[in-house]
Chain A
């Protein structure tokens, strides 16, 4: 697929540029020191995850409303990549929090919400994995994929009602004091785009694998029942 090749190229270029910015160009943040640079993968991973979750919903709708097989494959792939990105966000978060605030975890609304979204889509991936051989699993997964995205606004609001254990943390979460610097903003957005492109590329790879799987299943069935 030529689109995949171009996407791969674009991802590589953008990633390289981002990494250069992150490690060479960007100034060190005053309060948090060099650890603050974790932000430049931590936030992009979250953005990529949400793009993937929306993709799951879009693919699911296409599958339910128009019987699109391609939509189903995209949903499956985006679910996996979304969980990967969400996991990366949840791993880099504590690694960043520990040296800065002295704790591994805070119940700040954004982190809490990310855990819930992670759990929803892990369930989605498990449904697809364990239910592989069941009839209609694609439809059921589509329903889960759609409800997951529908839940996002409600979860956001409800999670803000939690008082958390370190309320002071929430205000400085996203590198609050340093984002005025234009280089920092550029680095963040470029890294964001790079990560989203990477996720898109991974989704394409996974879609292709899934298409191959299904061709194999069809061939297997043909062999079993003989060719007429």
Chain B
């Protein structure tokens, strides 16, 4: 099983790439939901 390290590296890179992007999207989605909530509150107060 030579070169197993390379196989691992490649699949890990793909896995990481996808996971990091999904997490990034998730975080920004939460932020925007919070911002929307605050904006709506501000709007109601007027």
A–B contact via C-beta, under 8 angstroms: yes
Residues of A within 8 A of B (CB): 33-35, 37-38, 41-42, 45, 81, 84, 87-88, 91-92, 95-96, 98-99, 198, 202, 205-206, 208-209, 212-213, 215-216, 219-220, 222-223, 226-227
Q: Please indicate the chain A residues that have their CB under 8 angstroms from the CB of B10 in the complex.
A: 38, 41-42, 91-92, 95-96
Task: List 17 other contacts, CB 8 Å, given A206-B25, A227-B46.
Answer: A34-B4, A34-B7, A35-B3, A38-B11, A41-B11, A41-B14, A88-B14, A92-B10, A98-B6, A99-B2, A99-B3, A205-B22, A208-B29, A209-B28, A215-B36, A216-B39, A222-B43
* Pairs A–B under 8 Å by Cβ, sample size 18: A34-B4, A37-B7, A42-B10, A87-B17, A92-B13, A95-B6, A95-B9, A96-B10, A99-B6, A205-B25, A209-B28, A212-B36, A216-B32, A219-B36, A219-B39, A220-B39, A223-B46, A227-B43
Main DSSP-derived SS at the A contact region: helix
